[in-house]
Structure 1
Amino acid sequence: MWVFGQILDRYATEGYGPPVGTLEAIEMAARTGALAGVVLNYPFPEPDLAVHEVAAALRKHNLSAVSVTPVIYGREFRSGSFTNPDPSLRRKAVDLGHEAVAAARELGAGHVKFWPGQDGYDYPFQVDYATVRRHGIEGIRDVARNFPDMTFGIEYKLKEPRARLLWSTAAASLLGIAAMGVDNVGLVLDFGHSLFAKENPAEVFTLAHERGCLVDIELDDNYREDPVDAVRTSVATLRLLEERCERIPLDELAAIQERHDALAAQRLIQKVILA
């Protein structure tokens, strides 16, 4: 939903556009004519906005809630959410996770997504890595165990806003998920974050998928253009690429991959995609 919002960064602290409320953003998402669902943050920016009002707006515009993300990355959690050195703030992050589940159920969302963007560190010797990792794993596991019928996804990112995040790469995140010992937590693969971590997103896809840990895939950006038109154009591009990819002769590609023939693979893809 933030793609339809004001878009702030450290250079344009006043934002690249006017403030946009939750209900207005839902209306803008519908106007694209290209979206079936949206990702929502909870609590909503408007303190008096109820979940049932958001649910009604989604129904009005024939949109679904894909997931709900608890806001565990704001100023209050500047020193961490699940990994905060203050036990009361760690507990508050867990409580927000519980509240997000309730909101997700009322909205009919398929999963709850965690983006623990403040769980990490900025300087050498600042934290004990093992302790931070234990707290991060225990916090999410606490929420997941209380709601075994809900799916949870962790969106990882190498860094920013912290110099280094706990959930930094696909491999580190999958190890953390495995240590939880639950079967309802998986990975949210953000295409841009994967590239940022110097990963191959396609390889990460297979890594998570073969472990039964792939919850969702996100392709997104911070737009400065008209957000409705930008989303519409981006979706059209993705649909074109998807249509072209459906033409790839998979048996022929598999035979090429079996012999690791790089040039033959490039020629085949060029023929299909660029034809």
Structure 2
Amino acid sequence: MKFKGFATGVWVFGSCPDRFCTGGYKKDSTLEEALDRIAGVEDLTGVMIHYPAPLNFQNADHVRKELEKRGLKVASCEVDLFGSPFFAKGSLISENKEVRTKAIQLAKDTMDIAEQMGSEVMNLWPGQDGFDYPFQIDYRAQWDLLVDALQEIASHNPRVKLSLEYKLREPRTHSTISTSGVALVLSLAVGAPNIGVTIDFGHALNCKESPGNVVAMLDKYGKLFALHLNDNFRDWDDDMAVGTVHLIETLEFFYYLNKSQYTGWLGLDIFPYREDPALACQVSIENIKYLLQIVEKIEVAKLREWQKEANALEILRYIRELL
């Protein structure tokens, strides 16, 4: 496998709350308990973890030792610009100087702690940046503020990749970085070589995108930096186990990923509200490994002949036989 390995978000092994069961469907875990369970999943060797909690500069040495003890590595550090009411009306696009300055500093700190923890990637999802009502914000102003902020963050530590995670909506009704196209244009507008895009498979589905097409597009511009893998029914960010709903589209995604320049982590961003998190990760990994095996069996020359004729039915018959 050309990829670094499989990683999971530490949050996968948390209490999994929603707005109806705010305390979560499970007993919450300490970081050490979550790492124990992660290390117990076959082939799971990386973690994606948020700054400033549960990772920060005060406990970084302790977290590093706990990871090493279990044979785990940090795949990416994720900056939390969404979980505090301080950012309720925006973070990087806020026209409140105090709010925007704090958001930029948190992102810079996350880049630094990512480097300290041995990770190449800082994932940035500014979930509170967007709007809920018409006329609520100045669209031109928000774009300029966002570009300026990202230029400042990217230049702060050029040794770390700054990867933009896009999402159509939630928690705002409209997200500023809403689609892969917006994220790509934004990364090109910033102009720094260390800024690119994270594909969250489920977010691509929510946008009515083809995840495989997104891989091909971002790879063409050298901007595919990180992956959050999951599945959903397209109308909401369900964060289900990988390959459990859109099997053929997930196969197509890995076909193009295998042809791409991407060699990073295969990150699981799932939210198993009612399922055992270790089993949800294990099933996801098994499905990914199965699909990668199918990808290796695809005869590219044969597929390309059908694609030149846009012969969808012969292609899908062929894929069915491989599956």
Q: Give the 3-state SS of the residue equivalent to 1:36 in structure 2.
A: strand
Q: What CA deviation, in whole Å up to 9, does each residue of 1:52-75 have, x standing for no partner?
A: 111111111111101101111122
Task: Name 1:28's counterpart in structure 2.
Answer: 37
Q: Does 1:235 align with 2:285?
A: yes
Over 3 Å counting, the alpha-carbon distance change for 1:116 and 1:41 in structure 2 is same
Q: CA deviation at 1:108?
A: 0.3
Q: How does 1:138-217 map to 2 (within 5 A)?
A: 138-217=148-227
User: In structure 2, what is the Cα distance between the partners aligned to 1:97 and 1:194?
Assistant: 24
Task: Read off the aligned partner of 1:246 and give its amino acid letter.
Answer: E
Percent identical among aligned pairs is: 33
User: In structure 1, what is the Cα distance between the partners aligned to 2:270 and 2:164?
Assistant: 18
Task: Read off the aligned partner of 2:30 and give its amino acid letter.
Answer: G
Task: Name 1:6's counterpart in structure 2.
Answer: 15
User: In structure 2, what is the Cα distance between the partners aligned to 1:161 and 1:69?
Assistant: 17
**CA contact under 8 A between 2:49 and 2:55: conserved in structure 1?**
no
Q: Give the 3-state SS of the residue equivalent to 1:246 in structure 2.
A: helix
User: In structure 2, what is the Cα distance between the partners aligned to 1:266 and 1:100?
Assistant: 44
Q: CA deviation at 1:110?
A: 1.5
Task: Read off the aligned partner of 2:91 and give its amino acid letter.
Answer: S
Q: Which moved more, 1:162-171 or 1:51-60?
A: 51-60
Q: What CA deviation, in whole Å up to 9, does each residue of 1:148-172 have, x standing for no partner?
A: 2211100100000000000000001
| Structure 1 unaligned spans of 5+ | none
User: In structure 2, what is the Cα distance between the partners aligned to 1:203 and 1:252?
Assistant: 20
**CA contact under 8 A between 2:114 and 2:160: conserved in structure 1?**
no
Task: Name 1:222's counterpart in structure 2.
Answer: 271
User: In structure 2, what is the Cα distance between the partners aligned to 1:102 and 1:251?
Assistant: 45
Q: Which moved more, 1:51-60 or 1:238-247?
A: 238-247
Q: CA deviation at 1:45?
A: 3.6
| Structure 2 unaligned spans of 5+ | 1-9, 230-268
Q: Give the 3-state SS of the residue equivalent to 2:164 in structure 1.
A: strand
User: In structure 2, what is the Cα distance between the partners aligned to 1:240 and 1:47?
Assistant: 37
Which of 127, 134, 139 pairs up with 2:137? 127
Which of 108, 111, 122 pairs up with 2:121? 111
Q: Does 1:18 align with 2:24?
A: no
Q: What CA deviation, in whole Å up to 9, does each residue of 1:194-234 have, x standing for no partner?
A: 00111110001111000010001211321021111221122
Which of 312, 317, 321 pairs up with 1:262? 312
Over 3 Å counting, the alpha-carbon distance change for 1:175 and 1:58 in structure 2 is same
Q: Which moved more, 1:114-123 or 1:18-27?
A: 18-27
Q: Does 1:71 align with 2:80?
A: yes
TM-score, structure 2 normalization: 0.82
Task: Name 1:37's counterpart in structure 2.
Answer: 46
User: In structure 2, what is the Cα distance between the partners aligned to 1:47 and 1:191?
Assistant: 28
Task: Read off the aligned partner of 2:287 and give its amino acid letter.
Answer: T
**CA contact under 8 A between 1:52 and 1:106: conserved in structure 2?**
no
Q: CA deviation at 1:46?
A: 7.6
Q: CA deviation at 1:238?
A: 1.6
User: In structure 2, what is the Cα distance between the partners aligned to 1:114 and 1:31?
Assistant: 28
Q: Give the 3-state SS of the residue equivalent to 1:192 in structure 2.
A: helix
Q: Give the 3-state SS of the residue equivalent to 2:297 in structure 1.
A: coil
